[in-house]
Homo-oligomer: A and B are copies of this chain.
Amino acid sequence: MSARPAKLPPEEVEQRASELEGWTVRDGKLHCELEFPTFAEAFGFMASAAIFAQELDHHPDWSNSYNKVVIDLSSHDVKGISERDFDLAGRMNALAAARSPRA
Q: A-side interface residues toward B, CB under 8 Å?
A: 39-40, 43, 46-47, 50, 53-54, 59-66
Within the complex, which residue of B39, B43, B59, B63 is in contact with A66, where a contact is CB–CB below 8 Å? B59
Q: How far is the CB of A58 from chain B (nearest CB, A)?
A: 10
Within the complex, which residue of B47, B53, B59, B63 is in contact with A62, where a contact is CB–CB below 8 Å? B63
A60 to B42, CA, bound (A): 13
The chain B residue with its CB closest to the CB of A49 is B43
Q: How far is the CB of A50 from chain B (nearest CB, A)?
A: 5
Q: How far is the CB of A63 from chain B (nearest CB, A)?
A: 4
Contacts of A64 in B (CB 8 A): 60-63
Q: How far is the CB of A1 from chain B (nearest CB, A)?
A: 17
Within the complex, which residue of B54, B59, B62, B63 is in contact with A61, where a contact is CB–CB below 8 Å? B63
Contacts of A54 in B (CB 8 A): 39-40
Within the complex, which residue of B39, B43, B47, B63 is in contact with A63, where a contact is CB–CB below 8 Å? B63
Contacts of A50 in B (CB 8 A): 39, 43, 47
